[in-house]
Structure 1
Amino acid sequence: MSVRNVFVVGLDEHNRKRLEHLRGAENYQFHGVIEPTEVYDTEIFPIEDMLARAETQLKEFSEPIDAIVGYMDFPVSTMLPLLCERFGTRSTSLESLLKCEHKYWSRLVQREVIAEYIPRFTAFDPFDVQALQHIGEAGLYFPFFVKPIKSSGSRLGFRIESPEDFSYAVARLCEGIGTISEPFNYVLEHANLPDGVRSVDGGHCMAEEIIGGWQCTVEGYVFQGDVVPYGIVDSIRYPQVLSFFSYRYPSRLPSSIQTRMQELTRQVMAHIGYDNAAFNIEYFWDEVQDRIWLLEINTRIAQSHCDLFEKVDGVSHQQVTVDLALGQLPDMPYRQGAFKVAAKFFYRVFFVDATVSKVPSIEEIETLQRAFPGTFIAVQVDVGTRLSSLPEQDSYSFALAYVWMGADDDVALEENYARLAEQLHFEFDDIVG
C-alpha cells in the first residue's frame, strides 16, 4: 500500500505521537498545516489569513493530499470544510457543520425533531440596551444562562440571577465577543444560511433556560449516513460552581439513560445531515425529573478525551477522525486498553486573579508521573503568568494543570488523584480573592 498523506491543522508533537500509534498509522504520513501556536493558547484568530496560508502550503505539496483533519474547536473545526472543499478531500458540508456550531441555528434545528429535550432559548444582541427586556418577552426569566452564539469552551458563559448579573455579563461579552465574532462571521459568509439565521451573526448571544444534572458527552461519528455513538464520558464539576473537576470514562450513567442518549444522538445528527465526520454531543440527565437535556453539539472529537480512550479502549479516538477523512469505516477498538477507567482532572484555583510565583519543576512532574503509572501531567502556567491572561478559561476559576490518570476502578482513580494533587505545589503573588 502506498503511503497516504494526512494533513493535520495545528499539529503539535504531543498529538503527532498519538497519531503515530493509531491502527494503520504505518501507512500514513502526517503533515502539519498552520502552526500549533496559532490555534493553541490564543484568542486571536485571523481565519482569512490562516486559510490563505494553509491553501498556499497545500498547493505547494507535490504528492496527493489524501485527507485534511483537525481535532480542535474553533477556528480549526470551522476551517476544515472550507479547506476540504477546495482540495477535494472528505468532510461534512459547511452548512451541516454550522447547524451544530451556530448555537442559535442549532437550537432551531434541534427543536424540529427533539423539542422536549432542549431548553427554552432566544438570541440577543449584547450591544442592545433593551436586550434584557427582549429576553423576558421571549419567555425567559431569572435565572438563565448566557453565552456567545459561537462559544469556545466555557469562555464568556455566565449564569444570570439578577439584572446586576446581566449587566456584568453583557459588559464582559461586549468587551470580548469580537475575538470570535469577526472570524466566525467570515465563515458564515461562505455558507447558505436561512434568513432567520443570517441576521443572527457571530456578534449575537444566546440566553437559555437553566438546565442541569449529571453531565456527559456522547462521542460519535457519521459514516456514509450511518450515525454511530461509540462512547460516553462523564463531565464532573466542582460542587456549587460551573468549573469542571474531571472527565471520566466510561460513564457511570444508568444503561437505560445511555441508550436513550444514543437514540437521541442518532435522531438529531441524521436530521442535521451531518456526514463522514466525527462529533460529540453534551447532555444532562436530571435525575430528579428523570429528564434528558441536550446541551450542545461539537463538530469534532473532544481532544481532552483522547487519552481516556487510549487508556480504556486501546487507542485515541483520533482513530475515528483519520479513518473518516480517508473514507474508511473507523477501526476503533473496545476495552482493549491497559486500564478499566480513566479521567482527566483539572487542578484549579478559584481566585479572581493572581500572579504565579512558583510551579512544579520538570523533575517533580516526572517523579509524580513515575509514582502513578500511566499518568500524564500538563502544567498550564509559568512563573510570572498572570492568571487573567490565560486563554480559554471559564468565568469562575483557572486551570493550573491537567492530569490524565488510569486505574482499575473509580475509587482507586479518585484516591490516586487526591494523593497526587497534594504533591502539586504552586505559589502566587498579588492574589485577588
Structure 2
Amino acid sequence: MEQRNIFVVGLNTFNRERLEQLRGARNYRFHGVIAPEEVYETDFFPIEDMLNRAEAQLRSFDGSVDAIAGYMDFPVSTMLPLLCERFGTRSTSLESLLKCEHKYWSRLAQREVIGNYIPRFTAFDPFDDRALSHIGEEGLCYPFFVKPIKSSGSRLGFRIDKPEDFTAAVKRLRDNIGLISGPFNYVLDQANLPRAVRDVDGGHCMAEEIIGGWQCTVEGYVYQGKVVPYGIVDSIRYPRVLSFFCYRYPSRLPASIQDKMRELTATIMPHIGYDNAAFNIEYFWDEVQNCIWLLEINARISQSHCDLFEKVDGISNQQVTVDLVLGKLPDMPSRHGEFAVAGKFFYRVFFVDAVVTRVPSEAEIAALQEEYPGTLIALQVEVGVQLSTVLEQDSYSFALAYIWMGADSDETLEDNYRRLADRLHFEFADIVEQEKRFTQH
C-alpha cells in the first residue's frame, strides 16, 4: 500500500513519536508544517504569513497532500479550515469552527438550543471606559468572570469581585489582548459572519456569570453528521484556587450526569454545523444545585489527554484526528490500556513572580520515572527563567512541570504523585508572593 502523506501544523518530536505509534501508522508519512516553536514558544502569531508559507511548502511537496491536521489551540486550530480549503482536504467549515472559538458567537449559538445550561453573558469592549456600567446594565452582578473573545489556554481570564478587580483586569487586557485579536480578526475576515458577531471582533471580551462545581471535559468527534463522545476526563483544581491540579481519566462523575453531558454534546455540535472533526467540550456539574453548565467548546482534541487515553484505553486520542482527516470512521479502543486510571498533574507555584535558580536534574527525573513505571515528567522552566516570561500560564500561578502517571486506582495515583512531587526540587530567587484567589470559574 502506498503511504499517505499527513501534514501536521506545528509538529514537534513529542507528537511525532506518538503519531508513529497509532494504528495504521506504518501506512502514513507525517510531515511538519510551520516550525513548532512558531506555535508553541511564542505569543506572536503572523497568521496570514504563516498560512502563505504553509501553502507554499505544501505546493512544493513532491507527492500527494492527503490530509492536513493539528492538535493545538490558536493559531493552529483556526488555520486548519483555511489551509484545508486551499488543498481540498477534510476539515469542518470555518464558520462551524468559529462557533466554537469565538466565545460570544459560541454562546449565542448555545443559547438557541441549550439555553438552560449556559451562564448569563455579555460582550464588552475593554477600551470602553463605560464597560463596567454596560455589564451592569446587562444584569450581571458581582462576582463575574471576564476573558477575551478569543484567547489561548487560561491566559487573561479574571474573576471580578469588586470594581478594583475589573480595573486591574482591564489594564492587563488592554496591554495584552492585541497579541491574539489582530491575527484572530484576520481569520474572522475570511468567514461569513452575522452582523451581531461581526461587530464583536477579537478585541472584545466576555463577561459571564460565575459558574463552578465539578469540572470535566467530554472528548468526542463528529463523523458524517453523527456525534460520538468517547471519553470524559475530570479536571481537578487546587483547593480554593483557580489553577488546575490534575486531569484524571476516566471520570468519576455519576453515570446520569455523564449521560446528560453526552446528550447536550449531541445537541449542540450538529446545531453549529460541526462535522468530520474532533472536539472537546468543558462542563461543570454543580452538585449542590444539581445543574450542568457548558463552559466552552474547543475545536480539537486535548493534547493534555493523549497520554491518559493511551494509558487507560490503549491508544492516544490522536487516533481520532488522524482517522478523521483521512475520511475514516475513528477506531478508538476502550479500556485496553495498561492502567485503570491515569492523570496529568500540574506542579505549580503561586507567586506573582520569581527567578528559577534550580530545576530537577536529568538524572533525578530519570530515577523518578523509573521508580514509577509509565510516568513522564516534562519540565516547563529552566534555570535563569523569570516566571512572568513563561508562556501559556493562567493568571494566578505558574506550572513548573507536567507529570503524567498511571495507576490501578484513584487513591494510588494521587498518593504516587504526592510522593513524587515531594522529590521534585526547584529553587527560586527574588520571589514575589501573591494572595491566592479562593473561588473558581
- TM-score, length of structure 2 as denominator length: 0.98
Using the TM superposition, give the Cα deviation of residue 153 of structure 1 relative to its aligned residue in structure 2, in angstroms. 1.2
Instruction: Say yes or no: does 1:345 pair with 2:345.
Output: yes
The one-letter code sitting in structure 2 at the alignment partner of 1:393 is Q
Q: Deviations over 1:21-78 (max 9, x none)?
A: 1011010000000000000021111111111110000000111111000001000000
Instruction: Say yes or no: does 1:51 pair with 2:51.
Output: yes
Mapping of 1:158-173 within 5 angstroms? 158-173=158-173
Distance 1:270 1:60 in 2: 36
> Residue in 2 aligned with 1:394?
394
Q: Deviations over 1:273-292 (max 9, x none)?
A: 10000000000000001000
Distance 1:290 1:129 in 2: 38
- Give the SS at the match of 1:211: coil
- Give the SS at the match of 2:338: coil
Q: Deviations over 1:240-289 (max 9, x none)?
A: 11000000000000000000000000000010110000000000000001
> Residue in 2 aligned with 1:380?
380
Aligned length: 433
> Residue in 2 aligned with 1:78?
78
- Give the SS at the match of 1:385: coil
> Residue in 2 aligned with 1:189?
189
Distance 1:230 1:194 in 2: 32
The one-letter code sitting in structure 2 at the alignment partner of 1:321 is T
Using the TM superposition, give the Cα deviation of residue 352 of structure 1 relative to its aligned residue in structure 2, in angstroms. 0.6
Distance 2:95 2:373 in 1: 44
Using the TM superposition, give the Cα deviation of residue 151 of structure 1 relative to its aligned residue in structure 2, in angstroms. 1.9
Distance 1:338 1:41 in 2: 32
The one-letter code sitting in structure 2 at the alignment partner of 1:319 is Q
Using the TM superposition, give the Cα deviation of residue 103 of structure 1 relative to its aligned residue in structure 2, in angstroms. 0.1
> Residue in 1 aligned with 2:436?
none
Distance 2:25 2:314 in 1: 14
- Give the SS at the match of 1:293: strand
Distance 2:349 2:319 in 1: 34
Mapping of 1:282-321 within 5 angstroms? 282-321=282-321
- Give the SS at the match of 1:352: strand
> Residue in 2 aligned with 1:234?
234
- Give the SS at the match of 1:261: helix
The one-letter code sitting in structure 2 at the alignment partner of 1:14 is F
- Give the SS at the match of 1:15: helix
> Residue in 2 aligned with 1:30?
30
> Residue in 2 aligned with 1:333?
333
Distance 1:41 1:294 in 2: 30
Distance 1:45 1:337 in 2: 38
Distance 2:85 2:304 in 1: 27
- Give the SS at the match of 1:81: helix
Distance 1:371 1:239 in 2: 28
Deviates more, 1:37-46 or 1:342-351: 37-46
Mapping of 1:92-171 within 5 angstroms? 92-171=92-171
The one-letter code sitting in structure 2 at the alignment partner of 1:359 is V
> Residue in 2 aligned with 1:429?
429
- State the Cα RMSD in Å: 0.4
Distance 1:381 1:390 in 2: 8
Q: Deviations over 1:131-180 (max 9, x none)?
A: 00000001101000000000211100000000000000000000000001
- Give the SS at the match of 2:40: coil
Distance 2:145 2:410 in 1: 32
Q: Deviations over 1:307-333 (max 9, x none)?
A: 000000001000000000000000111
> Residue in 1 aligned with 2:203?
203
> Residue in 2 aligned with 1:252?
252
The one-letter code sitting in structure 1 at the alignment partner of 2:66 is D
- Give the SS at the match of 1:310: helix
The one-letter code sitting in structure 2 at the alignment partner of 1:248 is R
Q: Deviations over 1:327-356 (max 9, x none)?
A: 000011111110000000000000110000
Instruction: Please list every run of at least 4 consecutive aligned residues from structure 1 whose deviation after the TM superposition is greater than 2 angstroms.
Output: none
Distance 2:49 2:385 in 1: 29
> Residue in 2 aligned with 1:403?
403
Q: Deviations over 1:347-400 (max 9, x none)?
A: 000011000000011111111100000000000001000000011111110000
- Give the SS at the match of 2:351: coil
Distance 2:7 2:408 in 1: 36
Distance 2:332 2:67 in 1: 18
Distance 2:185 2:222 in 1: 26
Q: Which consecutive unaligned segments of at least 5 residues does structure 1 have?
A: none
Distance 2:243 2:132 in 1: 26
Q: Which consecutive unaligned segments of at least 5 residues does structure 2 have?
A: 434-441
Distance 1:247 1:336 in 2: 19
The one-letter code sitting in structure 2 at the alignment partner of 1:192 is N
Distance 1:272 1:228 in 2: 15
Distance 2:329 2:260 in 1: 24
The one-letter code sitting in structure 2 at the alignment partner of 1:267 is T
